[in-house]
């Protein structure tokens, strides 16, 4: 279904029948993607009075309890409340859900013992484009990202000046296929988080970071409409389901 949407003074066409889901589903398996030194999520039927509430076990309904951490167990979207003493709920501060986005592919650069994404790389990828959101796909891009166990692996991260560049560029929503925009072990500095949310100045309460996405190789770099869907958790972060729609030129 082709529809035309108004973006600022421009009309853009997208096909609502061709959504591109870039989220990683959460499962109750040990192979679920994971980070931050905790066990896998659990999806298990409740038990009451010694009976398992599952149709397979004779109950009339399935009644599963899900135990997980949004930051460790899959695609999630977070506010500045992730790193501030004051609570800023994603449910209260993400008030719009459609944005003009640019998908970019980046080959991380070697820096000492790390692999990083630099300001120069993002400048090259974005050029003079004006976007509300950026979707960063890192190379190599394999399906292993959907089940990788990231703890103690020192994954790729954004340099502080790269995150600051995105802030000054006017990017409100940063999406990346890594467990964090920051170095796994950085002594608590969280340089990229702090730069993007401008914690040394006026907080960007309407800006979000989405981590643990997976952008299929079938999705081309370029311009998209992003539908950023969250669950209504009163928490600094929520599981999320970002959906892209290719803009038809």
Domain coordinates in residue numbering, the chain: 2-24+74-246
- Would you place residue 171 in the very low, low, confident or very high pLDDT band (cuts 50, 70, 90)? very high
Please state at what angle helix 119-126 crosses helix 160-169, rounded to 10 degrees.
Answer: 30
> What is the pLDDT of the chain when averaged over all its residues?
96
| pLDDT (0 to 100) of residue 8 | 76
Helix (H) / strand (E) element for 242: namely: strand 237-246
CATH of domain 2-24+74-246: 3.50.30.50
Q: How far is CA 219 from CA 83, 89, 118, in A?
A: 32, 31, 23
- Tens-place pLDDT, residues 130-144: 999 999 999 999 999
Task: Indicate the Cα dihedral angle 214, 220, 223, 227, nearest 10°.
Answer: -30
């Amino acid at each position: 279904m082709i529809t035309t949407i108004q973006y600022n003074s421009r009309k853009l066409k997208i096909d609502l029948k061709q959504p591109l889901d870039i989220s990683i589903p959460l499962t109750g398996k040990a192979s679920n993607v994971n980070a931050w030194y905790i066990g896998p999520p659990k999806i298990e039927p409740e038990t009451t009075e010694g009976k398992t509430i599952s149709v397979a076990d004779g109950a009339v309904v399935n009644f599963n309890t899900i135990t997980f951490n949004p930051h460790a167990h899959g695609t999630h979207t977070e506010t500045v409340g992730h790193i501030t003493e004051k609570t800023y709920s994603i449910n209260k501060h993400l008030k719009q859900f459609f944005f003009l986005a640019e998908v970019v592919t980046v080959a991380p650069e070697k820096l000492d013992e790390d692999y990083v994404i630099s300001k120069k790389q993002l400048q090259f990828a974005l050029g003079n484009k004006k976007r509300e959101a950026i979707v960063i796909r890192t190379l190599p891009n394999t399906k292993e990202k959907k089940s990788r166990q990231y703890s103690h692996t020192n994954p790729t991260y954004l340099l502080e000046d790269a995150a600051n560049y995105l802030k000054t560029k006017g990017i409100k929503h940063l999406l990346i296929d890594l467990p964090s925009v920051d170095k796994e072990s950085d002594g608590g500095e969280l340089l990229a988080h702090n730069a993007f949310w401008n914690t040394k100045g006026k907080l960007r309460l309407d800006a979000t970071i989405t981590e643990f996405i997976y952008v299929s190789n079938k999705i081309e770099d370029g311009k998209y409409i992003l539908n950023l869907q969250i669950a209504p958790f009163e928490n600094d972060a929520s599981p999320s389901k970002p959906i892209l729609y290719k803009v038809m030129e």
